[in-house]
Amino acid sequence: MSEYVTLTIDGIEVKAPVGSTVLEAAKSAGINIPTLCFLKDINEIGACRMCIVDVGARSFQAACMYPVSEGLVVKTNTPKIRETRKVTLELILSTHEKKCLTCVRNRNCELQKLAKDLNVKDIRFEGELQNHPIDDMSHSIVRDPNKCVLCRRCVSVCKNVQTVAAIETVERGFKTIVASPFNMPLKDTPCVNCGQCIVVCPVGALREKSSIDRVWEALSNEDLHVVVQTAPAVRAALGEEFGYPIGTRVTGKMVAALKKLGFAKVFDTDTAADLTIMEEGTELVERIKNNGKLPLITSCSPGWVKFCEHNYPDLLDNLSTCKSPQNMFGAVLKSYYAEKMGIDPAKIFVVSVMPCTAKKFECERPELASTGYPDVDEVLTTRELAEMINEAGIDFRNLPDEQFDDPMGEATGAGVIFGVTGGVMEAALRSVPYLLTGKDEGDIDIKVVRGVETLKEAEVEVNGIKIKAAVVHGLGNARKLLDKVRAGEADYQFIEVMACPGGCVNGGGQPIQPASVRNEIDLRAERAKAIYAEDEALTIRRSHQNPMVLKMYEEYFEKPGGHKSHKLLHTHYVARENYPEK
């Protein structure tokens, strides 16, 4: 049997692999078929009917689902098809809340673009507008059902990719709505705040809980010392909001923009990532030497931590007690930094710029206030930072490159790679040999843990001690691995888990790319290139060689894993119900 079939699309002979769809075959021939609900590898259900084509059957078929076959004749652009698509789109628009000018997705809305592409000038149908309450009780995510087009992308990514299933379609017909179980607020569900639902939504039905107003308010308060820290993945994606190609590193311009916004100091979260490696690496070594609870599982990803609290409470003791770099840095800023600078920690307002919506939930956790004040006061997503830059009238593309502020701005290549899946593991494996022997051993570039494969493994041996490590990303993949750990079928000593597929570079707070881009470009891989390029450009690439981190231990924390470190840099976790009783 041939691996390819030959079909005709709009009079063009096309060869396509067996098992592929008409949509894929048309794309390979340069023939564009409009879509709305379709998102490659996430949502391929033919629900919106925008991609209908004529294949000679009694009715039009959805190209995203219809398989190619030998001799198939397809028409994609007849007058009847164009009119049917337009009618379908107008019916969708007739019940859609059309507040486009004030919508968070204005000018980046797939429905808006589709209306333009299909030349919709008027809506011939008068539909009944939805009138559902907006769910804004979550610390991280706002749901506006009135803007929902029922594409089900959010349902699919939450249920099938992340295996959280915090939302689902309920009711039937015109009453169909995407909702949480029992119509509970999202905050009362097992939602982990990862925000993957936001970045796949084609419209403005999902967005992050905005912190912009509170940050502006803090910046205008002369009694506050307002500092900002930026996660490594932000520099790899912020440029997309200003027209740069995907994967462009804009570190220097990002720092310059933050200084123009009025922050007293601009710091690099990578510094705290190096500190995290010192604490987490020490914790791993101590657990191995003292027959402690293994495998040790990373705790940097707040979406993953909450997922574990809901679904694997029996494995919470396996989680590293280290705070995430965001909160570890916040604790440092309100203790060591406050003391060094002679500033009352009550007057220090810490803002984080993160690629992650779950960080908004994390900074609200009451256990993350070891100085008596919240480690972090407010979290902005990458998108929110871009909004503030635009609102301030800053010409981002013409900014000069500037450096992070001293004394807290020094970071290593190990810190920057925290932004990609496998990065925490690679950073740890660069330093664990030193923590075991006091000597630098092994390769700096541990490429076996890089990439977007479902499961990556590595093994190192130092002084006769073997450390077998595993890396997973995306909560569905984490579930598969954790089930094996729970069943005693995994013999790892160290596991890295990141909630978002691809890691932080693909976080729920990153710039939103439409399906037309996501279907063709692997955002995870392109943004990761910027991360690894920065790592390779840095002189120091091992966390334990960071002079700022060494100075902090010498002057304040004494040693990794010490009493003061545990008080300020470590935390605990909470077993959570999956659903409250109703």
Q: Does 48 participate in catalysis according to the annotation?
A: no
340 is catalytic: no
**Cross-strand partners of 178:** 169
Q: Is 447 a catalytic residue?
A: no
Query: To which H or E segment does residue 533 belong?
Result: helix 523-537
Q: Which one of the listed residues 110, 280, 496, 534 is annotated catalytic?
A: 280
Q: What is the CB neighbour count within 10 angstroms for residue 317?
A: 11
Residue with tokens 């007690």: 321
Strand 494-498, strand 296-297: pairing: parallel
Active-site pick, 323, 359, 360, 456: 359
Catalytic residue among 240, 324, 504, 565: 504
With H, G, I as helix, E, B as strand and everything else as coil, classify residue 328: helix
User: Which member of 300, 308, 363, 500 is catalytic?
Assistant: 300
Antiparallel, parallel or unpaired: β 61-62 and 73-74: unpaired
Identify whether 367 is a catalytic site residue. yes
User: HSE on the CB side for 103, CA within 13 Å?
Assistant: 24
CA–CA dist 46, 65 (Å, integer): 6
Outline where DSSP puts E strands in 85-239: 141-143, 168-170, 177-179, 206-208, 225-230
Strands (E), 137-224: 141-143, 168-170, 177-179, 206-208
Whether 194 sits among the annotated catalytic residues: the reply is no
Q: How far apart are CA 404 and CA 344, in angstroms?
A: 23
The dihedral region occupied by 262, where left means phi > 0, alpha psi between -120 and 50, and beta the remainder, is left
Q: Could you say which of 364, 367, 459, 555 is catalytic?
A: 367
Considering 180, 320, 335, 565, which one is annotated as catalytic? 320
Q: What is the DSSP string of 235-256?
A: HTTGGGGGTPPTT---HHHHHH
* Given the residues 24, 240, 309, 362, the one annotated as active site: 362
Active site includes 191?
no
Structure tokens at 71: 């001799």
What's the CA gap between 308 and 310, in Å, rounded?
Answer: 5
**Catalytic residue from among 279, 283, 378, 534:** 283
**DSSP alpha helices (H): ranges in 192-231?**
196-200, 212-219
Mark whether 70 is an active-site residue: no
Q: Is 280 known to be catalytic?
A: yes
Which amino acid type is present at position 140?
A: S
Catalytically active residues, by annotation: 280, 283, 300, 320, 359, 362, 367, 504
